[in-house]
Structure formats: structure tokens, C-alpha cells
Amino acid sequence: MGKIVDLLVLLLTVLPAYGLVWWLRHPGPPAYALGLGPKEREALGNLRAGRKESKGIRDAARAALRTVQQRAAEDLRLCDERLHALQRKRESVWQEAHEYGAQVGEPLWPLRLHEHALLILGGEVAGALPGQEPQPQVVEALALDGLHAALDSRSLHHVLCIRLTPAGGKEQTFRYQRTLESEVAADAFVVAVRGQIHEDQPFRDHLRAEDGRLAAEAKQAEADRTRVQDSGSNEIAEAEKNLTAAIALARAVRGKAYDNWQQDAGRRPFW
């Protein structure tokens, strides 16, 4: 019984409020507000149609603006993804250009030759893993690209020298006590360095060509992004302009519907 009473109270509270709201939207004589006769139903239908048309005009323009904004944002996102991908590829090329590569032949302390660099070694450092033997520390890595290597065995009787001059750098000299064994080893090492410099050249040429290609693609991608951004901004501005015009048209359509309702029912709707 208590639930029924509560339900009746709720209905008596909600229905009048709903009726008031509805009447405020369709104020006028009850015959017009309820659409009791043919003329009244036509007037009520025209009012509803005017409101629906007005709302449709606004909604369509707002939806068009959202579509343009979303498309512009998506186009920019794709451009940014392309730029980031090209940047990652260039970073990969740069990283590859600074890799030593595999060791080539036996070292001639403190020099150790690799596929793409000549390392100058120093003191030992602890191994990375427990129980691992200490490893020589890399003091400097000379790129083979542009490196000049020479064996000088004539200037001193008891010493022979390996002279290394990196591209754009200063000459470094490494002296060894002259013996038959050391002279053979030093000569073989310099020959190996020169050979590896020759082997390294196609690798460097490939990296330079690849980096140049990626740089050109990145430049084009940046230009494309600017073009897409400008185009998107223009489309958004046009859609916003259309929305402003649509809102004005929607107000005019609604105003005309309200004017007609006022003429028929004698009272203008509140909203």
C-alpha cells in the first residue's frame, strides 16, 4: 500500500512538472497546445517542424565542423608518424655508422682493428659479468673513413713507428721496439688497416647515400606536413564560417516558426 501511495505522489509531482514544461514550449490556447482540431494540429506540426529543421541545420553544421577537425588532426598525426619513422631510420643509420664491427686479425697493442674502426686501447676494465675476464678499455676509436696509416721504419734505427692520421685530425704515433718479429707484425698490421679502409669505403658510401635519401624524404615530409596543416586550417576556418551562417539560418527558421505560431495561437513560445 505504501508503495502505491509513493507512486501516486511521484506521478502527481512529475506529471504536472512535465506538463508545465511542455506547455511552456507550446504556450497558447489549450486547443493549439494540444492540437485538438485540424487547424490547431497543423499549427502545432508547423512549430515542431520549424524547430526540427532549425536543430537539423545547426547539428549538420556542427557535425561537419567536427568531421573537418577530426580529419585535419588525423592527417597531421599521419604526417607526424611518417616524420618520426624517418627520424628513427636516420638514427639507426647514425648508430650503424658508429659501430666498430667485428674484430679483424690480431691486435698490435695498443691498436686493435675492426671492420669499421681502429681502436686505441688502454688499461683493463672489469668484465660485465661475474667471473668474466677483464677487458681492455677503449681510449679512442678512429673511424676508418679518411684514416691514413703509415709504417715508418727508417727514421730511427732501434724503433719503428705506426703513424695514424684520422680525417681532419692530428697524427698519432705508436712506437715499437725494432725486432724482426715486431717489424713483420707492424707491417702486416698496417697492410691490414689499409685493406680494411678500402673494404670500409663501400659501407660508408652506402650509409651516406642512405642518410641523404632519408634526409630528402624527411624534408619532403616536413613540407607535406606544412601543406596538410595549412589545408586543414583553411578547411576548419571554412567549416566554422559555415557554422556561423548555419546558426544564423537556424535562428531565422526557428523565428519564422515562432512568428507563425504566435500568429495562430496568440502567444510566442518561451524558447
Within this chain, do residues 50 and 117 fall inside the same structural domain, yes or no? no
Q: What is the pTM of this model?
A: 0.68
Q: What is the CATH number of the domain that holds 199?
A: 2.30.29
Within this chain, do residues 41 and 82 fall inside the same structural domain, yes or no? yes
Within this chain, do residues 209 and 111 fall inside the same structural domain, yes or no? yes
CB atoms within 10 A of CB 4: 8
Within this chain, do residues 69 and 112 fall inside the same structural domain, yes or no? no
Is 239 domain-assigned?
Answer: no
Q: What is the pLDDT of residue 57?
A: 94
Q: What is the pLDDT of residue 127?
A: 47
Q: What is the pLDDT of residue 260?
A: 84
Q: What is the pLDDT of residue 126?
A: 45
Q: What is the pLDDT of residue 150?
A: 93
Whole-angstrom CA distances from 229 to 71, 221, 232 are 11, 12, 5
Is 237 domain-assigned?
Answer: no
- Domain count of the chain? 2
Q: For residue 271, which amino acid is it?
A: W
pLDDT tens per residue across span 181-228: 988 999 999 999 999 999 999 999 999 999 999 999 999 999 999 999
Contact 127, 135 (CB under 8 A): yes
Is 236 domain-assigned?
Answer: no
What's the DSSP call for residue 105? Answer: S
Domain holding 177, by residue range, is: 99-121+135-230
**Residue ranges for the chain with pLDDT beneath 50:** 126-129
User: At residue 29, what are phi and psi to the nearest 5 degrees?
Assistant: -60, 145
Within this chain, do residues 14 and 116 fall inside the same structural domain, yes or no? no
